[in-house]
């Protein structure tokens, strides 16, 4: 067979519709978009109230704060690091706001206090990882207990309440009486993170660090500086999420955001961010957030118990991880 015949055969194979479909489905973003569409259609058919616009808007409250933390978590995992302590950071940030509010701090100061507390916690994680060379998973497993323990010591069996109306306006409020403010903040942050990761040299260096940190260091990238910055950014976003969550529920308790770290990491991994580092997109993470939000919202409308929701999410995570690999294997 001559070169021309071989080239023609290759193009014929590449143009087969079935092969193109399998290749598209092998992309996590395409698969998640189809799952999101399927979830909408199924919920719309089975649940008459699902497609009500007011209900859909209210449903975004269930995932907006978690998704805000998932955005920097995605960057951190792309860099081959992880932060298990985000729920503890959120809890400590909420306690810091409650303590400041109880001692007469003005309402406008509570958001900076939450973000500053989260940034300080993230800085502690980052210093332990970059300066002392400790594994991030070990460090943050320790600090999640530290941060939540400090929150519990300050609170005891009490709760902080009586937060100013400004916090409720942002945690519970709507723009134009239609779109939740939290969701608008999430969309704005997602757009910002997407630009930084996919359209700047900063983002290219994050991918380089995740693919090969040794080569990145020899190429002149300040690897430890980037890692420290990402831990601090994750802490700051956890502080922002703590401000919105506290404003939404109107109180601070020791068990606030308990177990959120696993849900946030699930969003990131489901969105196609490689746990081995070096791969992932913000679009994938947002599709995973919306897919999980749609599925859990539909299950809650159907009065499905929480334990079954956990099973469904676990199956969904395994399926979206395994299916692209199976489809890619068949195309080889």
pLDDT tens-digit profile of 48-79? 888 888 888 888 998 999 999 999 999 999 99
Instruction: State residue 214's pLDDT score.
Output: 93
Tokens matching residue 10: 């290759």
- pLDDT of 20 strictly over 70: no
Query: What is the band of 1 on the pLDDT scale with cuts at 50, 70, 90?
Result: very low
- E strand or H helix that includes residue 174: strand 174-175
For the entire predicted model, the pTM comes to 0.88
Rg of the chain over Cα atoms, rounded to whole angstroms, equals: 22
Instruction: State residue 3's pLDDT score.
Output: 47
Percentage, residues of the chain above pLDDT 90: 64
Q: Report the distance separating Cα 120 and Cα 100, nearest Å.
A: 16
Among 88-97, 111-120, 216-225, 299-308, the minimum mean pLDDT is found in: 299-308
Instruction: State residue 311's pLDDT score.
Output: 84
Q: Per mean pLDDT, which of 12-26, 231-245, 283-297 is the most reliable?
A: 231-245
Tokens matching residue 35: 């799952």
Instruction: State residue 8's pLDDT score.
Output: 45
Query: What is the band of 328 on the pLDDT scale with cuts at 50, 70, 90?
Result: low
Q: What is the mean pLDDT of residues 300-315?
A: 81
- E strand or H helix that includes residue 179: strand 179-180
Residue with tokens 């799952």, as numbered in its chain: 35
Query: What is the band of 301 on the pLDDT scale with cuts at 50, 70, 90?
Result: confident
- Mean pLDDT over each residue of the chain, to the nearest integer: 88
Label residue 290 exposed, middle or buried (CB < 10 Å: 0-12, 13-18, 19+): buried
Tokens matching residue 327: 């489809």
pLDDT in tens, 210-223: 999 999 999 999 99
Q: What is the mean pLDDT of residues 293-304?
A: 87
- pLDDT of 312 strictly over 90: no
Query: What is the band of 10 on the pLDDT scale with cuts at 50, 70, 90?
Result: very low
- pLDDT of 84 strictly over 90: yes
Among 18-22, 26-30, 165-169, the minimum mean pLDDT is found in: 18-22
- pLDDT of 24 strictly over 90: no
- List, in order of start, the domains of the chain with CATH numbers: 28-331 (1.10.3470)
∠223-228-232 over CA atoms, to 5°?
150
Q: What is the mean pLDDT of residues 227-235?
A: 97
Query: What is the band of 13 on the pLDDT scale with cuts at 50, 70, 90?
Result: very low
pLDDT in tens, 85-108: 999 999 999 999 999 999 999 999
CA dihedral 137, 143, 149, 151 (to 10 degrees): -120
- pLDDT of 134 strictly over 70: yes
- E strand or H helix that includes residue 44: helix 28-46
Identify the residue with better confidence: 15 or 203. 203
Residue with tokens 């805000």, as numbered in its chain: 68
Query: What is the band of 160 on the pLDDT scale with cuts at 50, 70, 90?
Result: very high
CA dist 331 to 18, 25, 326, Å? 10, 11, 9
Tokens matching residue 286: 């947002």
């Amino acid at each position: 067979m001559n070169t021309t015949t071989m080239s023609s055969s290759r193009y014929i194979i590449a143009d087969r519709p079935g092969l193109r479909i399998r290749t598209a489905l092998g992309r996590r973003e395409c698969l998640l978009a189809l799952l999101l569409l399927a979830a909408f259609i199924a919920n719309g058919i089975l649940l008459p109230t699902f497609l009500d616009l007011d209900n859909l808007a209210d449903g975004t409250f269930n995932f907006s704060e978690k998704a805000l933390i998932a955005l920097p978590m995605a960057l951190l995992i792309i860099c081959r690091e992880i932060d298990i302590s985000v729920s503890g950071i959120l809890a400590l940030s909420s306690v810091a706001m409650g303590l400041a509010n109880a001692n007469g701090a003005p309402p406008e100061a509570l958001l900076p206090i939450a973000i500053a507390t989260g940034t300080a916690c993230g800085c502690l994680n980052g210093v332990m990882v970059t300066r002392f060379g400790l594994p991030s998973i070990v460090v943050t497993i320790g600090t999640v207990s530290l941060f939540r323990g400090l929150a519990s010591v300050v609170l005891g069996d009490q709760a902080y309440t009586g937060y100013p109306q400004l916090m409720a306006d942002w945690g519970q409020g709507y723009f134009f009486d239609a779109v939740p403010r939290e969701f608008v903040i999430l969309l704005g942050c997602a757009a910002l993170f997407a630009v930084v990761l996919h359209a700047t040299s900063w983002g290219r260096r994050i991918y380089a660090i995740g693919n090969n940190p040794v080569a990145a260091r020899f190429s002149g990238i300040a690897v430890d500086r980037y890692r420290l910055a990402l831990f601090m950014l994750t802490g700051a976003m956890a502080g922002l999420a703590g401000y919105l969550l506290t404003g939404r529920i109107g109180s601070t308790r020791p068990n606030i955001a308990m177990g959120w770290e696993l849900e946030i990491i699930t969003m990131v991994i489901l969105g196609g961010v490689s746990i081995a580092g070096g791969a992932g997109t913000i679009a994938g993470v947002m599709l995973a957030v919306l897919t999980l939000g749609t599925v859990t919202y539909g299950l809650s409308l159907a009065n499905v118990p929480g334990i079954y929701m956990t099973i469904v999410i676990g199956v969904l995570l395994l399926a979206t991880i395994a299916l692209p690999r199976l489809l890619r294997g068949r195309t080889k």
